[in-house]
Structure formats: structure tokens, C-alpha cells
Amino acid sequence: MPRSAGGEFGRVVNARHAALAEAVASWVARKPGWKVATEVSFSIYGDRGVVDLLAWHDATGSLVVIELKTAIVDVNELLGTLDRKRRLAARIASTRGWTARSVSTWLIVGDSRTNRRSVAGHRTIFESGLLLDARSLPPSLPPPGQGFRLRHRFLD
């Protein structure tokens, strides 16, 4: 991770990520029937990582893997990581006693000119890796039981 002369860079990035996580987690938690788990770690068959947010709707078995990015650095690595988390999501959820009947993934990106340029400059890659654009969805969680992959959503 790059460091600034004052050593503040890491703290600023972490603070932005934490603020984005708080905003999204509190939004999900206010939706009827939805629960949210934060920073969910996993180790399955050598695949290791942390899911930023895992949203769960018990009545329908709907699971949403939410990846948060304050800065897009490596598009290919980002999509590969998100795909790995999607592929392992049902197993990750099972460790919490959740039996997923559908799995959705969301990529939520902090709003900045740099991130907008990155998404625009890699549109084909994003569109092939993630199916829907947030602008085509209502401002709510997916209908319970419907799995989908959300392309991106910019949040301040």
C-alpha cells in the first residue's frame, strides 16, 4: 500500500472504507427481514479472504455478497476476488447456519472522478463480469429469492 510522507494514507483509506461499510450495513439492516454481517473471514480449500458485508434474508434464503471499494486499483483482481467470494458464498453462509437458496453479488464503489474513469475505461470487463447496473434497479435490496450480480453503484 502506498504511504504518504505523513503516514496518513493508510488511515485515510481505512477510514473511508469503514465509513462506506457503515453506510451500506446500516442501510441493509433497516430493510425488513434482512441481517448483515461485516468483515466475514473464510478459509475454504485454500481460498482465503474476507467478505466486506454479507446480507441475509432468512425467510427466502437470499444471500448477498457485498464488495466495497473506495478505490479501484486492479480491475481484474477485483473481479476475480468477487467471483471467488460468489462461488464460495453458500459455504461461507453455512458456517453461520444460513442455507442460501440464491446468491447475489454487489460491487459498491465510493464516488470519485478516478473511480468513475476506471469504471468507464473498463466498461467491457465490468459488463462481462457483472450483469446489472445499479441504475436499472430500484433503490432497495433485490427481491428475496432472486439472485443477480450488480455491476456497480457509486456512493458518496
Q: The C-alpha cell of 110 is what? A: 465510493
pLDDT single digits (tens) 25-83: 988 888 888 999 999 999 998 889 999 999 999 888 989 999 998 888 898 898 889 88
Q: Which of 52, 4, 1, 2 is nearest to 28 (CA)?
A: 52
Q: The C-alpha cell of 19 is what? A: 465509513
Q: Which of 15, 78, 12 is nearest to 49 (CA)?
A: 78
CATH of 9-155, one of 2.60.40, 3.80.30, 1.10.1200, 3.40.1350: 3.40.1350
Confidence class for position 24, pLDDT limits 50, 70, 90: confident
- Return the domain boundaries, the chain: 9-155
pTM across the whole model: 0.78
